[in-house]
A and B are shown apart, each in its own frame.
Chain A
């Protein structure tokens, strides 16, 4: 399963290296990583997409928290959040295909941000799925070059009761994982 984690860290030289180095060293699988400024000066914000299971993600979170420069880590995978990705795609065009491409891009509510004689640059912002499927369609026309940002995510306002993820994982595991297995063996 894919998990979305958000981490805040002190904006210091080498912090990205500390975090990515830890991930590599611990053999965690990162699908994407996006980093930028947060609302607080001196604090950067990273969004990770991690591929793994509950136990691994629990480790990722805990190991991230051990990095001294990381100030906060939140798993937003099962919390209401706005998750977006942006892609820029330069797609090959001919006079014949151009209108069709424009039509497709409009359907996806993308923007055409640059037009040349034999290509155009399409910008799409949306959920990963939407970006994926537009890119799929555009690939029929010939993609010359493409860049994707990876997921960025923001929690929605005023969510209900919050549970701390790591405890939740323990409780879940204690109630139906490891312990249940033992109970079954005993029975």
Chain B
């Protein structure tokens, strides 16, 4: 489907049609070309009205195997394009299945419109078959939601839904449409003026706050930027780079901020927080001005709030007013869209150097290199090595590969050992930490970016939560998502916590997995098992060069932990370092990143 197929179809003429037809009409007006969903009773009229658009090549529907994954796919689609992702499901259990995926997207500010069918208005509240209070259930995980009980409200609600999901800090909007509304007819028009007096997507920028921020930055001797997802959402990674280079400001990022500044850039210190490098966290605890941009001081970043950057003047650039002062009270709040505040700030910041500060950071970084786990000879297959090899095999791909991680140890290793040089190339569930995210989100990202290389990296635990979506790879004409399973036979991150904090009592963490390669084979997807370090590079190359999907089951050493680690409740510089490596003479391993 192409935009031209759509644009030749769309007309502004008000027309009579059914509610079901209105749904698609609205989606076409919003430029939606791919949706992810699963049909069922209460949404059937809408699915019926889809057939004309599918045949006309205007909208492509991806059939999921579980509704949670419809939301994750829409999420992957949205994160990798910046457009609103759309998922669709029926009432009752389908809608409740969506909840995890919606909550995942909402926590990470991902724009999604979810459409659900609902029992007819006449049955509402009667505990009818497949009825659930979807608006009630999803309210806490949505930016806004609607129950549509009159067909005449539907076009305006659809338009508002997209507007609210997309504008300001993005989020999830759910539209629950009663079945009789889908069957009823009404007049469709889409030229509504949005009138939402209670919705302020872009608060006015206080120029004096920007000036105060510039002044603080100009006076700083040990400045540090901490950049988050907001930089990517506002599309200002270029300006961030300009700012960092102009005033020589080192940059740490949050997990979702990976790639805000290319990680191979000399001013990049990589990720901070619970599994951030020691020098990145130490930089936070030693800077005199901390410039937070588009991030929300999540507890995984701050560790103990009472001991977080106490020495620093904190500047907080943030679009969502409610995030300012929620966890950390900044000295200089700069509320507003980064797309406005950052360009405003740039000319007010002086060009200068911070030689002493950068030298100090370099020394800390060199110190970390000494203990880096991949500096010593790898005779067993350890996960960091796999990740680094994945980076080697994909680093020269144009625009970078899209890497979608699941949740757990492999997710943290990916953040540490994959060098994110492209903004937005890492998709991961940062806020909610949803296991099972990787495969469906990778499918969404691949559907949205047919020409790009997409890797899903998952643990053996998380992968088993959504592996039924392998069928989608096949059904979508061999969608070329590559899958790396970091298989250690454990729910590794939980095992790590049990080892460190729960007396090594490994309750419920040893996990049996199927033979993933055979499983892939059952779906008609090729795969490989890798057990030795020397097989890694060739396997990755084979995956990259195989058209269509490919799965690699990396049988890694089971008891490797993610370090450094800030124990929950500790200050971010009070961390458990990597164990001292065994230095092997003549080792000619891969170059460390720092």
Contact = CB atoms under 8 A, between A and B. Distances in A.
A179 B331 contact: yes
A98 interface: no
Contacts of B199: 68
A179 B198 CA distance: 33
Interface stretch (B135-143, B386-394, B468-476): B135-143
A170 B197 contact: no
B333 interface: yes
Interface stretch (A30-38, A59-67, A118-126, A148-156): A59-67
Interface in A17-62: 17-18, 21-22, 25, 55, 58-59, 62
A70 to B, nearest CB: 5
A21 B140 contact: yes
A75 B331 CA distance: 23
**Max chain A CB contacts within 10 Å: which of B136, B140, B322?**
B322
Interface string A142-179: 00000000000000000000000010011001100111
Interface size class, chain B: 20 to 34
A70 B197 CA distance: 8
B356 interface: no
A166 B331 CA distance: 14
A178 B140 contact: no
Interface in B150-202: 164, 196-200
B311 interface: yes
Nearest to A186: B311
Nearest to A21: B139
A68 B174 CA distance: 13
**Max chain A CB contacts within 10 Å: which of B135, B139, B164, B200?**
B139
A18 B331 CA distance: 32
A36 B325 CA distance: 31
Interface residues of A, number: 32
B353 interface: no
A179 B321 CA distance: 20
Contacts of A62: 321-322, 324-325
B532 interface: no
A110 B331 CA distance: 50
A72 B139 CA distance: 20
B310 interface: yes
B340 interface: no
Contact of B198 (A10, A13, A177): A10
Interface string B196-212: 11111000000000000
B331 A174 contact: yes
Given A9-B198, A14-B135, A71-B198, A65 B329 contact: no
B365 interface: no
A55 B325 contact: yes
A66 B324 CA distance: 13
A63 B311 CA distance: 29
A65 B321 contact: yes
A11 interface: no
28 contacts: A9-B198, A13-B147, A14-B136, A25-B140, A55-B325, A58-B325, A59-B322, A59-B325, A62-B325, A63-B322, A65-B200, A65-B321, A66-B322, A67-B198, A68-B143, A68-B199, A69-B198, A70-B198, A72-B197, A166-B321, A170-B325, A170-B333, A174-B332, A178-B331, A179-B313, A179-B331, A182-B313, A185-B310
Given A179-B313, A185-B310, 14 more contacts: A9-B198, A14-B136, A17-B136, A18-B139, A22-B140, A25-B140, A59-B322, A65-B200, A65-B321, A65-B322, A68-B164, A68-B196, A166-B321, A170-B333
Q: Which 6 residue pairs spanning A and B have beta carbons closest together?
A: A62-B322, A71-B198, A68-B144, A71-B197, A178-B329, A70-B198
